[in-house]
Amino acid sequence: MKTGKLIFTASKLALAASLLMTAGSAMAAGIADTRHNLGSGGGVNAVNSFSGTAEICVFCHTPHGADTSASVPLWNKTLAAPASYTTYDTLGTSSLDGATAPVGSVSLACLSCHDGSQAMDTVLNAPGSGATVASYSAGTWTGPAATTTPVGAITNSIVNLGKDLSNDHPVGIQYGGGNLTAATPAAATRDPDFKTASNQIINGNTIWWVDTEATPNGTRQKTDMQLYTRTVAAIDGGASQPFVECASCHDPHTTNSTFLRVSNAGSAVCLACHTK
């Protein structure tokens, strides 16, 4: 018995070690190996790269002096006014149920590059000491960004969404047509054609997400569809509730194709939320 148990433990250890190694290599293949590595040191930088720094996070985040006009983590760029975008609801599809809020938080963050209006090296806090400048002075762009106006703005193709979001999947939209609030976090959504969202209270705020596992595990992971809790005075009396934003479907740090939280094979991204 005792020997058997020891062997079992040893194989468990071996398994744990190989899992650790897998986790290690998964970590190695991170944002550095994606098109979101805009610095000079990246691997896929034929797309767009800036010679002014080998840092990665700085194009998006700063440890100090971040933009706080929306609840985006330590954002290192100026966010545009929500009202400067044309939203999906203006298309007037008669099937739309959810109320549309002004373009929110993380969507504004993505759009601070993906609307093509500002250079990607325009940051609030440049790398180094005391460098609160409009853009890095020493550096040039390689790739499409070198030929855009302004120089360093995202290339003019489908990756440049522009200011008109009426041809894009709705963002700043209530999940499931609404009805989930902090007071009734597990209520049925007004539109029944949506998957049930999980919820949890973190730091006193109710947050929601949609599990992507075949059997929902009720634990928020970065491979789940994230919903963003917002309170919008004009919607349901300012009740705090979940909205879909760009990063509901996308994780800007993942190495998955087109930065999707999960592979979209079989339209798994779409079917995570829509019951179709």
- Residues near ligand HEC (CB under 6 A) are 31, 35-36, 38, 47-48, 56-57, 59-61, 73, 93, 95-98, 106-107, 109-114, 120, 144, 154-155, 158-159, 161, 168-171, 173, 175-177, 191, 210, 222, 225-226, 244, 246-250, 252-253, 258-260, 264, 269-270, 272-274
Residue with smaller CB distance to ligand HEC, 191 or 211: 191
Report whether 113 contacts 156 (CB < 8 A): no
Query: Rounded CA gap, 97 and 227, in Å?
Result: 17
Q: Smallest distance from the beta carbon of 1 to ligand HEC, in angstroms?
A: 45
Phi-psi region of 60 (alpha: psi -120 to 50; beta: other; left: phi over 0): alpha
Between CA 19 and CA 24, with CA 22 as vertex, the angle to 5 degrees is 110
Report whether 268 contacts 262 (CB < 8 A): yes
Residue with smaller CB distance to ligand HEC, 9 or 184: 184
Q: Smallest distance from the beta carbon of 138 to ligand HEC, in angstroms?
A: 18
Whose CA is closest to 236, among 90, 86, 100, 104? Answer: 100
Q: Smallest distance from the beta carbon of 134 to ligand HEC, in angstroms?
A: 15
Q: Smallest distance from the beta carbon of 205 to ligand HEC, in angstroms?
A: 14
Query: Rounded CA gap, 212 and 261, in Å?
Result: 9
Query: Rounded CA gap, 115 and 163, in Å?
Result: 6
Report whether 262 contacts 272 (CB < 8 A): yes
Q: Smallest distance from the beta carbon of 19 to ligand HEC, in angstroms?
A: 21
Whose CA is closest to 80, among 105, 48, 97? Answer: 105
Residue with smaller CB distance to ligand HEC, 96 or 146: 96
Q: Smallest distance from the beta carbon of 13 to ligand HEC, in angstroms?
A: 30
Residue with smaller CB distance to ligand HEC, 67 or 182: 67
Residue with smaller CB distance to ligand HEC, 182 or 259: 259
Contacts of 11 (CB under 8 A, 6+ apart): none
Residue with smaller CB distance to ligand HEC, 52 or 170: 170
